[in-house]
Amino acid sequence: MSEPMVEVRSVRKRFGDLEVLKGVSLSVPENGVVCVVGPSGSGKSTLLRCINRLETIDAGRIRVDGELIGFAERDGRLHPLPPKELNRQRAQIGMVFQRFHLFPHRTAVENVMEGPVTVRRMAKPAARARAEELLDRVGLADRAHHYPAQLSGGQQQRVAIARSLAMQPKIMLFDEPTSALDPELVQEVLAVMRDLAEGGMTMIVVTHEMGFAREVGDHLVFMDDGAIVEEGVPAEMLAAPRHERTRTFLGQVL
């Protein structure tokens, strides 16, 4: 078997006295789409932030495409990576948040250009051409020169997705990308994510959109209290969850 694109092994994370991740292990194959569900406070978002090294783990290992994230291992000991190396790793891991975090004083195309120009030192004409191509891919070619305040929430989130794709990431992490949107705007964002999945992008999606998990996800993970309680094929797990905590949660959201 080929090496997984994302491998999380026995990861622990604590904030003060609160242990948020309690030895979480997860494997995501290349081109796989893993959907993570669970109640608020279960550790879902923290898990994504640890994969992207926005949070430093307290124990365990995280690898993306075989590379240890956030650390170098020498003589059995972990040594934090210097900022330059850490930024190089982060550039390979796209992340889309609940809130869009666009630069308000820059147009859609300028927001998408920002990463390639400042991080990858791409020439502006090439970065602009790439940004326009990506905005077209997410259905916003006609909004390229609009500012965020001139865009709907769904459009802003699609710009945020294009911005992440501009860095040519190996994986995409989505942290409840539709939770801040009005209901009528949710489907336009999910359609872009569905297109990414069909194109072979490796994705980990924290979501409450069970229809998306069933239709697009290859694997469904239910987290509660900092641990993975149950995981499996989405359609099977949604139809007949084995664990009582999973049944209770799904009974509330379905």
Buried b (16+ CB within 10 A) or exposed e, 220-239: bbbbbebbbbbbbebeebbe
Identify residue 215 by its one-letter amino acid code: E
pTM: 0.95
Half-sphere exposure (CA, 13 Å, Cβ side) for 186? 13
- In the chain, which stretches have pLDDT less than 70? 1-2
Q: How far apart are CA 246 and CA 38, in angstroms?
A: 8
Instruction: Determine the 3-state secondary structure of 224 from DSSP.
Output: strand
Distance separating alpha carbons of residues 115 and 158, to the nearest angstrom? 16
How high does pLDDT run on average in the chain? 94
Reported as a single tens digit per residue, the pLDDT across 10-35 is 999 999 999 999 999 999 999 999 99
pLDDT of residue 69: 96
pLDDT for res 253: 86
Residue-level pLDDT at 254: 79
Residues 193, 198: Cα–Cα separation, whole Å: 9
